[in-house]
Structure 1
Amino acid sequence: MAKVETVKRRSPRKVKRSPIGASPGTLIADPAARQSALSLTLISPDECKFIGNASLRDVAESCAGWPVIWLDCVGLANVELIAEIGAIFKLHPLAFEDTVNTGQRPKVDFFDDHAFVVVSAIDDALAGRYEQMSLFFGENFVVTFQEREGDPFGPVRKRIKANLPNRLRTRKADYLAYALIDAIVDSYFPILESKGETIDGIEDEMLSGIGRHQVRELHELKRGMIVLKRALWPLRDALAALLRAEVPFIYPETKVYLNDTHDHSVRLIEVVEMHRDMLTGLIEMHLSLSQARTNDVISFLTIVSAIFIPLTFLAGIWGMNFDPGASPWNRPELLSYYGYPIALGMMAVIGFSLVGFFRWKKWL
Structure 2
Amino acid sequence: MAKADTVRKRAPLKIRRPPVGASPGTLIADPAARRSELRLTLISPEKFKTIDNASIDELNAHCEKWPVVWLDCTGLANIPLIEEIGRIFNLHPLALEDVVNTGQRPKVDFFEDHAFVVMRMIDDVTAHRYEQIAVFFGKNFVVTFQEREGDPFDPVRKRIAASMPNRLRSRGADYLAYALIDAIVDSYFPPIEAAGEVVDGIEDQMLNTPHKHQMRQLHELRRDANVLKGVLWPMRDALATLIRNDVPFVKAATKIFFNDTLDHSLRLIELVENQRDMLTGLIEMHLSLTQARTNDVISYLTIVSVIFMPLTFLVGVWGMNFEPESSPWNMPELKAYYGYPAALLLMLVVAVGLVAFFRWKKWL
TM-score by length of 1: 0.96
1:139: Cα distance to partner?
Answer: 0.6
Native 8 Å contact 2:10 2:128 kept in 1? no
Q: Structure 1 residue 181 and structure 2 residue 181: aligned?
A: yes
How many percent of aligned residue pairs carry the same amino acid?
69
What residue number does 1:130 align with? 130
1:56 corresponds to which residue?
56
Equivalent AA in structure 1 for residue 43 of structure 2: I
Note the C-alpha offset of 1:10.
3.7
Q: Which residue of 2 aligns with 1:239?
A: 239
> Which residue of the partner structure matches residue 254 of structure 1?
254
Q: How many residues align?
A: 361
Please say if 1:305 is aligned against 2:305.
yes
Partner of 1:152: 152
- CA distance in 2 between counterparts of 1:11 and 1:162 reads 37
- Alignment match, 2:220: 220
Letter in 2 for 1:65: K
Q: 1:180-202, CA deviations, whole angstroms, 9 ceiling, x for partnerless residues?
A: 00001111111121111111111
Q: C-alpha offsets along residues 170-215 of structure 1, whole Å, 9 cap, x if unaligned?
A: 1211110000000011111111211111111111111111111111
How far the C-alpha of 1:146 sits from its partner, in A, is 0.6
When structure 1 is superposed on structure 2, of 321-330 and 270-279 the one drifting more is 321-330
Distance change in 2, residues 1:293/1:53 (3 Å)? same
Tell me, yes or no, if the aligned pair for 2:10 and 2:129 is still in contact at 8 Å: no
Give the corresponding residue for 2:118: 118
For 2:11 and 2:61, how far apart are their aligned partners in 1? 44
Instruction: Measure how far apart 1:59 and its partner are.
Output: 1.1
Asked whether the equivalents of residues 225 and 275 of structure 2 are also in contact (C-alpha less than 8 Å), the reply is: yes
Which residue in the other structure is 1:342 paired with? 342
Q: Return 5+ residue gaps in structure 1 as ranges.
A: none
**Which stretches of structure 1, 4 residues or longer, exceed 6 Å deviation after superposition?**
none
Query: What CA distance in whole angstroms lies between the structure 2 residues aligned with 1:10 and 1:147?
Result: 17
CA shift, 1:353, in A, is 0.7
Give, in angstroms, the shift of residue 127 of structure 1.
2.2
CA distance in 1, matches of 2:132, 2:348: 74
| Cα distance in 2, alignment partners of residues 358 and 225 from structure 1 | 47
- Superposed CA RMSD in Å reads 1.3
Report the AA paired with residue 94 of structure 2. Answer: L
Distance in 1, matches of 2:173 and 2:19, equals: 35
Deviations 1:11-61 (A, max 9, x none): 633222222222111111111111111100000111100000000111112
The offset of 1:7, in angstroms, is 3.7
Closer/same/farther in 2, CA of residues 8 and 190 from structure 1, 3 Å limit: closer
Q: 2:362 matched to which residue of 1?
A: 362
TM-score (norm 2): 0.96
1:326 deviates by 2.7
In the alignment, the residues of structure 1 paired with residue 11 and residue 179 of structure 2 have an alpha-carbon distance, to the nearest angstrom, of 34
Aligned counterparts of 2:277 and 2:200: Cα–Cα separation in 1: 13
| C-alpha separation in 1, matches of 2:266 and 2:23 | 37
Residue 167 (structure 1) aligned with residue 167 (structure 2): yes
Alignment CA distance shift 1:7-1:336 (3 Å)? farther
